[in-house]
Amino acid sequence: MSFTWENLHRAMYILVGRGTQRERLYQAYVHNLARLQAQDIPAEMRSDFILLSRALADSTSGKGTRQLSDEEVNAFLNSIVRIYDVVTRYQPILPLRHSAEEHHAGAL
């Protein structure tokens, strides 16, 4: 799995966790998304990522999210989900260890 996908995947778990939307956005950015560079993101979502990164650049102090309106926070959360979706599409599909038929045959 790619470094980009892993960080976005971890960010998704933060986004569905505890806390306000603003707190979860802050945590996802600081702990995962800030590790990524614009060139790590597919071209079709790169501008959204750059906008997010610029808005939250000083998030290490928490100021980045406090300056955002509720609508902006919501828009950034949606952007993260869309970026994750696009990056996930680029991930290789890993083969299953056993087919469903093999699993059922072994159970008999």
Number of domains in the chain: 1
Query: Domain residues for 31?
Result: 3-107
Per-residue pLDDT tens digits for 42-98: 999 999 999 999 888 765 566 667 788 899 999 999 999 999 999 999 888 766 555
Closest alpha carbon to 6 in 39, 32, 38: 32
What's this model's pTM, rounded to 2 decimal places? 0.80
Per-residue pLDDT tens digits for 21-57: 999 999 999 999 999 999 999 999 999 999 999 888 7
- Give CA–CA dist 100/16, Å, rounded: 31
